[in-house]
Amino acid sequence: MTAPRKDPRNFGTQLAEEKQAELPLRPDIISASGRFSVVMAERVFLKLLRQEITRLCDPANETDLRRFFSHFFDPMVTKDERDSYVSNFQRNPPTTVLGYPRTTTRLPAFAVILEQDTEVDKPLGTYLGQTGAEEVRDEAEEYIGTMFEQTYGVYVYAEHPDACIYLYHFAKAVFLGAYNVLHACGIIDPSYSGNEMTPEETYLPENMFVRRLGVQFRSLATVPAILSPDPKDVRTGVWASDLVVSGVRWGVTADGEDFSEK
């Protein structure tokens, strides 16, 4: 028998349950990704990594950690090497930080860094819909906004090359396994890339190893706005005064007064 999708042993299950609890209490309203807020992807990535690290570094969950690592690394590494990854992870779990790590950051570490945020696929007039008749609001609202393409780098810092390798693959597996959760948080169609980082002696010690997991996706950025008033109430006009036409001074002031003979 297969385990259900929301089995607590799956990646992202805890975050999914928390998000479900935050939805509006009315069951007839379905939340659309990106509708109610700007997507703060870095917070989602940090929370997802922290929850899974906390769960799997618990000795009570060693069986789950061993199951994941067996899937990731068997038969590419020996059993002894894979077991060393398990013991290293539980003995010295990685920390997670927002932005570039500081000298006080305990290693190994994941650092979540925004690398690019670009507007794409701008809608006509920025209009993205409005509240429906079934939705209770004190005042009618419309939603304006646009689509953004974002790239985040999840950097893996470790003092041993093997630790850097297995943590890189661990982070990638967490994101892949939590695809539905990411999409529910407004992270649309994520795709991944990776590379080894060239050592910068100015910034890193000699025994530092760094890999980057790139996450590229799209997200809606929306802002609620009170529906515009009747255009006639905000219409503006343009007038000109003190004109000279064919040598004759002529014009109309703002109140329409003719001053050509004055």
Average pLDDT, the chain: 77
Task: Bin 66: left if φ > 0, else alpha if -120 < ψ < 50, else beta.
Answer: alpha
- pLDDT tens-place string over residues 87-117: 999 999 999 999 988 888 899 999 999 999 9
pLDDT at position 131 is 67
Pure H helices in the chain:
13-22, 41-56, 62-73, 79-91, 161-177, 179-184
Query: What does residue 22 show for φ and ψ, rounded to 5 degrees?
Result: -85, -10
Provide the residue range defining the domain that includes 211.
32-233
254, part of any domain: no
- pLDDT tens-place string over residues 153-184: 999 999 999 999 999 999 999 999 999 889 88
Task: Please tell me the total count of domains within the chain.
Answer: 1
135, part of any domain: yes
Identity at 238, one-letter amino acid code: V
Cα angle 149-212-172, degrees, rounded to a multiple of 5: 80
Predicted TM-score (pTM) of the model is 0.71
As a whole number of angstroms, the distance between CA 22 and CA 171 comes to 26
- pLDDT tens-place string over residues 16-75: 666 555 544 444 444 444 444 578 899 999 999 999 999 999 999 999 999 989 988 888
24, part of any domain: no
255, part of any domain: no
Q: Is the separation of the CB atoms in 57 and 69 below 8 Å?
A: no
12, part of any domain: no
252, part of any domain: no
Quickly count: other Cβ atoms within 10 Å of residue 182's Cβ: 25
Q: Looking at residue 67, what DSSP letter applies?
A: H
Spatial CB neighbours of 25, under 8 Å, sequence gap ≥ 6 = none
114, part of any domain: yes
Whole-number Cα distances in Å, 106 to 54, 111, 235, 252 = 15, 11, 60, 74
